[in-house]
Amino acid sequence: MHAILRDNAFSKLLELKATLGPLSATKLFVEAARWGRLEMCQWLRASYALLTEDRRAYDHTALHAAAENGHLDVCQWLHATFDLTPDNYRFYNSRTFRDAAQNGHLDVCEWLHATFRLTPADARANETEVLRMAAAYGHRDVCEWLRATFALTAADARANDNYALRYAARNGHLGACE
């Protein structure tokens, strides 16, 4: 399966279609989103009724996988196709937002914020502040955007035993905390 995704090999996928069950198709859909294979996601959705009928099994997971890996086009398609709304996505968008920031995907963070109306509480979700995670991984542009967008202060970055400063310094990214 990974070779199919890595190579974006539709011909191999077509060969497997006869033996690919609904559960495998759902897993492949999420993995295609993770790898940023928009055309494969579209084909899988069109080819398997499960991906049309029971979206709860995969839509949020696929959006999270695409966002944390910086595939904005896949995120936008999933949102448009499955009508993910802020009301039915509140818990999941916190994790998705955190992981996109941690991995330095500013464009995805901006889109998530605009699309799901994220609040400062979302920036501090799951007991792991988004700002601290972005700083720890050296994503200064994300840190600056977070501070400006959510009016976060340097104190937010140093909360909980100076987590951001300690990990940013350990990883050689102290400049992300300035």
Predicted TM-score (pTM) of this structure: 0.78
Using one digit for the tens of pLDDT, what is the confidence trace for 125-165? 544 567 778 888 888 898 888 878 877 565 655 554 356 56
Residues of the chain with CATH 1.25.40.20: 94-178
Q: How confident is the model at residue 18 (pLDDT cuts 50, 70, 90)?
A: low
Residue 142: how many CB atoms within 10 A of its CB? 26
CATH code of domain 94-178: 1.25.40.20
For the chain, percent of residues with pLDDT exceeding 90:
16
Give 177: exposed, middle or buried? Use CB within 10 Å, 0-12, 13-18, 19+.
buried
Question: What does the buried/exposed string (b/e) look like for 6-29 if buried means 16 or more CB atoms within 10 Å of the residue's CB?
Answer: eeeeeeebeeeeeebeeeebbbbb
